[in-house]
A and B are shown apart, each in its own frame.
Chain A
């Protein structure tokens, strides 16, 4: 095994490196760790929900606390777990897949991750500072306007900070994929994960601003005395529902499209075949992204928009099944006749197809507006969206974690533990959510903290709770697997799965900080597989080795985000006890220090931004000699391995 260059750095140096890094590979690790932490939090909240609902008339959680727990479960899982974990894979893989040295805006990449981290912490601090938000993750204005205390304000400010980070990352990935592709990497040669990342990033750019505006309206109404949702003053709470779902529906495609991308890579790799119907897959991805913006009102069928609006949105919703169906058939055709290898990622991918199709079918059922009046606000809905989000997105996250683990850490997770984890998670998932379809049809409403004995809900709820416990066990096995692997620290070499097809698997592991010593030349789809079949298995270089320009590390993104975090507290407590604020906030004791905190926080942010714009940061060059020395060493290492 090769010696790792350099001395082992102290903890402080490593920490400082991560706080200031602009390297997409390290930012991926920050996303992974922070997203994993919030995933655990959201998971604990899920366990609390299922523990409360396991038996009738339970008083494990009080009604108010239950509302806080379901709100934070949804908000945490969507904004702070699923999306950041997907960003972790995008950061770790996409620049390598397109042959780039880094993303287009490394500084903004760092800013995006720290805004997300601070926004997430801000949101979760609500637990310790007077109560979490309790109006559901959708936070409908009619509920959230009346919610006492600062819970909803934590939701609003926290999402505003984290959302800004997401928008920045979205812009970054759109630009990266448009401008940073290596020579020969045409759009129609891009791996599917890159394609789905591009479409998801475009969706982020278009979907997050409506949320920003919606949350601003909520903040202004609660904290600054405006009247957007105050019906007595002419306000209208339906505006929130529209703005939220114009964001919220594309948001679920932001989650599922990269998941589709991860699965496409896995199917093709472990079937040892080209992806079937590549161009149809690309077309379907774009079409889903397009339709994603035309269906938001299917969340609002029962609001009373009228039969015409409902019919249009019902049809548009059903139309989405077409491109999604194209994808499902193409995945099946990819496996068909392939030389299949049942690795952990592949098992997840195979389990994903039937699980996700079930979620899709119930989606079509709800798209029929008249029928939706029956399903609305029942456990049927809960079952549906967990089938698509867990059966689609979470399966993809777990599959992607196993699949891309070597690229991220240079080691390989245990396949044995991985398969045990997969089987338990799969059983637990269906055990939890399948029965909830019936619970919903039997009439159990969602968002209730308990139910009476003798209504026929007992057994089904118990089964559901047992399933949830199984999923928790599977996640604990995954954690054990991760710890064991990291402790063992057995490094793997290039292309650890042996069947890598795309550019990221052609790189040495650990990947050099500049990624590609030589700019690669791409000759076709599945660049590495092509070279394995037709060439010598190495990617040709687009030109001679040349000095590489690199960006400098910077602490400024951390400070900008920290400033907003501080300012968030100022803005939030500034409203306490003010006569113009909503009753729920105006009743709180006044906080005279809040204004100074607000000013201090904004000062930190703006001074940091000022330093950034006043001091030119031109980066540095890696000299040609260093690159050539690295290449020689790599060659020697590979000869030694053979």
Chain B
């Protein structure tokens, strides 16, 4: 018993040292990347200063922000939502439509859209949370589907239908426009992911976050304590939806167009994949899952058309040519065999490593 405790102390002590230093080093390195000439063949399409690579990395960081907001739902409140893309899409399309129709400056436009996202998440969350568990999953899916249909139908020629909506760059400050300024967008994405991480951490440590976690474990007990699980879950739901909306606006600036896929159920499912791959309940797991998913998704397409795969017999080549087949299979395997995802497995490996070191020292 005492040995277990001392190991935990060792783990936490080393973790806290790493916990302060590692993120700062990581942030500094990430911030400097656009100024450096680093190549990672196979993983990145080119040297780190090139717009293509910066675009991919910025996308990965925005996906990490979104995965963090999804982590609030699934990892903190235990809510399995299939409609999170709706709030992201509301941010993407909302900003696109407001800039296109009203031509107001970027800052007030973003404020208006953000308020809209908060209201949307509040209204739909209030209805969806009337049911829990699997029915909740189905209902969120249905609402998101309505949003997806709305985007595709192009009501009042606002959303551009299947083609999507291009960003009206008029009201956008010059330093955020054009390929030559991709590094600015990259830095914006980096700030987004850092801010999101801090906000999510703050929400988790707030009273609502604690109660939500307690609700996930034991709803009855929370009710006995005189707190309404419904209201707490709604707070988390709205927080997650609002973050997603905010990230959506940055996404529009980065991609400079809004397309219907950002509201689709498949988009939410990809968020689910990221969080589960990373490890449900872990913040940095969500970030890692999102980055790995985004890079894999991008690079697996390149792998599919590579000479190596094209040279394989058809029965092997066919599945390898479909990135989503590989990701889907990987996901099934993770759920079946690595329930803790990347974060859980790393933690287990570290514990084993520390245990091993402990016993070898003892001998």
Chain A bound to chain B: no
